[in-house]
């Protein structure tokens, strides 16, 4: 598994243990990138990041396993793409030393496990509400794979923000001796978040799907505009009221927009939500239409909705269906302190 050895496909736990023992004898840090296969450039970005993190002496292991525990009734387990040969090429080119691609029997000998990880209250919100049991299944397999692969550090994409938050919480709560690193979402040039499910979209559906990232970017721009207006308002005479100051700024912007910013309060979370929802509402009228599952502006610590006057970090998350394909996306935002 070192860079001076041939790239390896490892199908069994026994072979994995032998490989990891050899790695431990040679020294260097070990990184793992967990995937369900159908690798794209977003996964390759994770592998490249892992390689940079552990360096030339380190060891990068990619896991490819379609986990049946995290698919609910009616979801696309059988339809989920399995492209192992292409995955091996992608992983090797990105800098991995090996791919661990076990069968279901290797991961769950004797059938589905009776003892599982429970995601708790955070796992029942947003994705957990839409896909009951999904996060319990995800955390169970991540826990098993962390034990099996014995990494010093594990890399996960921020596109699955709730998943990443839960994995971090599990590692902290259950004292896993591993560093969990989040990697920013990889996107197509037009903004669409990279996903294995994008391949299911027809050209028309893909155009509609762009509304997810467009909504997030509209919200980000709205937040930036609010911050700029408030900053400029503070440069006016302190004897003027906040609304009057913003109205004066409205001479170069819409006065109504200035008053809306003033009404939004210090954080303006409601205005940010509204900017995103406007884009999604328009996409719902499209052909084909976008069917919104949720739009939520949440606290990264527990994925509860933030109040309008929120300050600090937040995540704007969206999930929707286009045709039969369900897509998710999110964007981290920072709300400034009250003026």
| Partners of 320 in beta bridges | 292, 327
Rounded Cα distance between 55 and 13, Å, is 25
DSSP state of 337: P
Sequence-distant (6+) residues with CB within 8 A of 215 are 275, 276, 277, 279, 280, 283, 295, 318
Catalytic residue among 40, 43, 134, 310: 43
Closest CA to 53 of 38, 71, 72, 31: 31
- Confidence (pLDDT) at 240: 55
Quick check: 257 pLDDT over 70? no
- Confidence (pLDDT) at 260: 52
150 pLDDT tier (thresholds 50, 70, 90): very high
The verdict on whether omega for the bond into residue 309 sits within 30 degrees of 0, i.e. cis, is no
Are 35 and 86 spatial neighbours (Cβ–Cβ below 8 Å)?
no
Closest CA to 330 of 201, 195, 153, 135: 195
For residues 284-290, average pLDDT: 97
For residues 101-117, average pLDDT: 95
- Confidence (pLDDT) at 235: 67
For residues 264-290, average pLDDT: 89
> Is 40 a residue of the active site?
no
259 pLDDT tier (thresholds 50, 70, 90): low
**Average pLDDT of the chain, as a whole number:** 90
264 pLDDT tier (thresholds 50, 70, 90): very low
CA-to-CA separations, 330 to 88, 96, 208, in angstroms, rounded: 28, 27, 17
More confident residue, 255 or 245: 245
Closest CA to 45 of 2, 95, 83, 99: 95
């Amino acid at each position: 598994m070192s860079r001076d050895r041939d790239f390896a496909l490892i199908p069994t736990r026994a072979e994995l243990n032998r490989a990891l023992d050899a790695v431990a004898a040679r020294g260097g840090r070990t990184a793992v990138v967990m995937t369900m296969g159908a690798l794209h450039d977003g996964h390759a970005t994770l592998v490249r990041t892992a390689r940079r993190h552990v360096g030339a002496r380190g060891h990068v292991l990619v896991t490819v396993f379609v986990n049946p525990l995290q698919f609910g009734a009616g979801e696309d387990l059988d339809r989920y793409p399995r492209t192992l040969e292409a995955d091996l090429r992608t992983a090797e080119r990105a800098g991995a030393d090996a791919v661990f691609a076990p069968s279901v029997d290797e991961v769950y000998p004797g059938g589905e496990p009776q003892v599982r990880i429970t995601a708790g209250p955070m796992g029942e919100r947003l994705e957990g509400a839409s896909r009951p049991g999904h996060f319990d299944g995800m955390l169970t397999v991540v826990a098993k794979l962390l034990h099996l692969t014995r990494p010093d550090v594990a890399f996960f994409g921020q596109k699955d923000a709730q998943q990443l938050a839960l994995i971090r919480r599990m590692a902290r709560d259950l004292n896993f001796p591993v560093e969990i690193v989040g990697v920013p979402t990889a996107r197509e040039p037009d903004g669409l978040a990279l996903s294995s499910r994008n391949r299911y979209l027809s050209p028309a559906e893909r155009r509609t799907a762009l509304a997810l990232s467009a909504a997030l970017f509209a919200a980000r721009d709205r937040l930036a505009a609010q911050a700029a207006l408030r900053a400029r308002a503070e440069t006016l005479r302190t004897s003027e009221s906040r609304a009057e100051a913003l109205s004066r700024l409205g001479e170069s912007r819409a006065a109504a927009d200035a008053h809306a910013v003033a009404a939004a309060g210090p954080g303006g979370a409601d205005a940010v939500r509204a900017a995103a929802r406007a884009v999604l509402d328009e996409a719902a009228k499209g052909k084909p239409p976008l069917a919104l599952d949720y739009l939520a502006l949440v606290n990264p610590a527990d994925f509860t909705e933030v109040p309008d006057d929120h300050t600090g970090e937040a995540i704007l998350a969206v999930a929707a269906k286009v045709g039969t394909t369900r897509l998710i996306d999110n964007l981290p935002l920072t709300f400034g302190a009250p003026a």
